[in-house]
Structure 1
Amino acid sequence: MTADVPHGTTASRATDRPGDVSPFALGLLLRRAHWHAAAVMTEALRPLGIELRHFAVLIVLVDRGPTVQRDLAAATGSDKAGIMRVVDDLERKGLAVRRSVPGDRRARAVMITPAGVELFDAAHVAAEPMAERLVASLGPGEAGQLSELLTRFAHPVGGEA
């Protein structure tokens, strides 16, 4: 398969190296930044006995309260089977419970337990030094600036991300 590239021009080849000008550069850099941040946060969560996928569900439960599994899947970018495994893990650890939804015999809402809230809070304490390490190469004020820019990028006003 050949691409339609005008004669005499060279298509930019996507990389994630500094200075890449391809139209894919931002996405590739965000992917690399995600991998780096995920590795650091995984290290913070490991001593607590959970993974990022578990913590992602706890974040939703703390933010929204009891949430049906299909909405947890959508909120975490998981599929139905994946979210069921994560909720199973959280239940086994005593961090969440499933409850019937009044008026819907098939739906099950997931609720965080007091132990889940305690672990959620402990994760934030454990992650603080890791988060500082994550942005250690940035200059004064740049961590805040990066956070503000990524927030605007991920949550555009009046738009969909």
Structure 2
Amino acid sequence: MGFLIGQTYRKMVGILAARFKEYDITTEQFSVLCRLAEQDGISQKEIAARTVKDQPTTARILDCLIRKGLVHKEMSAADRRSFLVYLTPLGRERLDVLLPLEKATLAEIFAGLDAEELARFRETHLQLHRQLDALHQQQEA
């Protein structure tokens, strides 16, 4: 089952990555931009948690997005050791193009499922996420 989930994920990401290529954005970079669109001005640590990526990977993604002019960092007023990350106007413009592209791609991918099947699929995955979160908490304890 895990292999099937992984294989499905890789195929989905491959299709999305090919469609994002002309915009010079990877799916990992897109996930960071999306989290910033949900809440701008969050720390690298918070971005890592929300994208389920480790800190070094998140730092590399942010460095790339900064070089592309899509995000910028500002020192936190509350904690001088921390930086907050913000979307730039160019980052917002890029998301305005990429979000509808992602939505259309997902609609194509899930076109074979009716509303009830899709709702069941989503709930099953959410249930798996909750179970995995509980297992991770047990391991950390």
Length-normalised TM-score, structure 1: 0.71
Match of 1:126 in 2: 101
**Distance in 2 (alpha carbons) for counterparts of 1:143 and 1:112:** 36
Structure 2, unpaired ranges of 5+: 134-141
Dislocated runs of 4+, deviation >4 Å? none
**Distance in 2 (alpha carbons) for counterparts of 1:61 and 1:127:** 16
Higher relative contact order (CA 8 A, sep 6+): 2
Within-5 A mapping of 1:2-151? 25=1, 27-136=2-111, 138=112, 142-151=113-122
Kindly name which structure, 1 or 2, has the bigger radius of gyration based on alpha carbons. 1
**Distance in 1 (alpha carbons) for counterparts of 2:48 and 2:118:** 25
- 8 Å contact kept, 1:69–1:83: yes
Give 1 or 2: higher helix fraction.
2
**Distance in 2 (alpha carbons) for counterparts of 1:112 and 1:150:** 32
Q: 1:95 is matched by which residue type in structure 2? A: L
Secondary structure of the structure 2 residue equivalent to 1:97: strand
How much does 1:81 deviate? 1.2
Secondary structure of the structure 2 residue equivalent to 1:106: coil
The alignment's C-alpha RMSD in Å is 2.0
Calculate percent identity across the aligned residue pairs: 22
